[in-house]
Amino acid sequence: MTTDIVTPTAGPETVGLTAEQVLVARVETARAALLDDARADKVAKQHARGKLTARERIAYLAGEEFIEFGGLAGPGPSNNGAAPLVAPADGVVTGIGYVDGRPVAIAAFDFTVLGGSNGAVGMAKVMRIADRALHDRIPMVLLHDGGGHRMQEALDSRLAAPGSELLMKMCDLSGYVPLVSAMLGPGFGAPGNLAACCDFVVIVRGMGTMGLSSDFLVKNGTGEDATNEELGGADNCARRGVVDLAVDDEHEALDAIRLYLSYLPSWQDGAQNVGDRTAGPGHFADRLDSLVPANMRQAYDVRDVIEGLADDESVFEIKPGYAPNMVCAFVRLAGRPVGIVANQPQVFGGAIDGPASEKLGGFVAVCDTFGLPVVVLIDMPGFQVGTAAEESRLVRRSARIAFELANATVPRVVITTRKAYGAAYVVMGGGRSIDADLSLAWPTAELCAIPVESAVDIAFKSVYLDDPEPEKKRAEFIELMRANIDPLLGADGFGIDDVVLPSQTRRLLIETFSRAVPRREPRVPGKRRTIAPC
């Protein structure tokens, strides 16, 4: 081994070091220059914006166990004669972190480096962790805080001509591993495209944005004066269904990512994260039998019903600000992650519209992809009606519900809690419509083609109007027809498996999901795919 003392060439800090020590020092110096401590001014500006740095975000999410890829990568020399860019890690920190002991591929875009813009080398690093997520079958998390194309590179045809394979890679990953994005800063353009490919997107109010074009581009392109908040702010994105969750700060966003991943399986141990099998039900459990009113016109909050069925403090609602007439939530039942979809009688009486159809369909697709059983709670008067509903293409969009429930291979339980009318009942999988593993009704269920009053008005209006006492005659018709509307009659014809009390339902759900096979066989073996309604 060489032990000669070398003449320093890199600075006074190498005086008296061996050749080997100089090489080590060069690497350590280069690596130290990447860290926040070496860029105090940049870090201070990021903190002044009320933001964490990219490395602080990774540390909060994954702790100290982070194996970085491409930390020493950079943009290289300029091709246009300008001074070389100073871009530590080329503006994106990538590697493998461990979230609750589980390996996760992470890319954190660094706003302190050229505004978090996407350079060619940086995007190659993102592609690298996407490859790792695919080959290692681990989740991928993207922490966005940057402004799309890097202008210093974007106007170079040699770099622009090949395009990017990253969206194709996101397509490969979709349905194979969990994909997550957090919008922690500017998210217009490429960041918005990438986030749109993800299964779960969380955004921070007053900080994150998501969209295709920022205010500057909109003004230049159309002359429209619109702020970035109006174009892609957190609450607007939540209302539009662009994101799954809007939160108040970064820590809440990163906690939401951790919580989301906790419901999904880990392929490394080949098993579902079952949590606490001894967990008790939520605090509404002792009131379940009285939560759903018998009066069809009386509203209630279906989230209370979900709380009563699920393990205590296990409900994680997705897209709460979008299509509030449909509730979608991850829960646990005796520790097992499960997805629940439910009509919300507090909004439109629970009637189904286009946004609700898409919300339910997307959520069921995620559950089926990652092996979570699905519970459907039905209480709705049907589809929304009127020219506005038809103009919204509801007839096509509502078919998305049936499409996803029918194609799901995981165990499914359908429970009619109250109103269940006509084609909407079929679309929601009621009765035998999707060959559910268990099909139940509660004593409050009303199973029929349309509401009784409407049926009487359609079939007998001319008769009761000719009667000397038309209102009395109408009431007689309603009473006569209502005699045939009874969940016990539905059970008598074996259109459902049983009529059960709400308080008995949790036990039946747990038993069904513990017994049912995790995946059913394809109904049509060899079929390549089903074409989704659009």
- Strand, coil or helix: 383: strand
**pLDDT of residue 33 exceeding 80:** no
Q: Which pLDDT tens digit goes with each residue over 290-339?
A: 999 999 999 999 999 999 999 999 999 999 999 999 999 999 999 999 99
Q: Is 82 exposed, middle or buried (0-12, 13-18, 19+ CB in 10 A)?
A: exposed
- Element (H or E) spanning 300, and its range? none
pLDDT confidence tier of residue 529, bands split at 50, 70 and 90: confident
Higher pLDDT, residue 284 or 310: 310
Structural domains of the chain sorted by starting position, each given as residue range(s) with its CATH number in brackets: 33-263 (3.90.226.10), 285-515 (3.90.226.10)
Residues 321, 327, 332, 334, CA torsion sign? positive
CA atoms within 13 A on the CB side of 324: 10
End-to-end Cα distance, the chain: 69
AA letter at 347: V
156 alpha carbon, distance to own chain's centre = 36
**pLDDT of residue 431 exceeding 80:** yes
Give, as one character, the DSSP assignment of residue 72.
Answer: T
Higher pLDDT, residue 35 or 232: 232
Higher pLDDT, residue 152 or 375: 375
Q: Which pLDDT tens digit goes with each residue over 105-114?
A: 999 999 988 8
- 151: which 2 tokens? 């202008």
pLDDT confidence tier of residue 25, bands split at 50, 70 and 90: confident
Q: Which pLDDT tens digit goes with each residue over 41-84?
A: 989 999 999 999 999 999 999 998 899 998 888 777 655 556 56
What is the DSSP pairing of strand 92-99 with strand 66-69?
A: antiparallel
pTM: 0.90
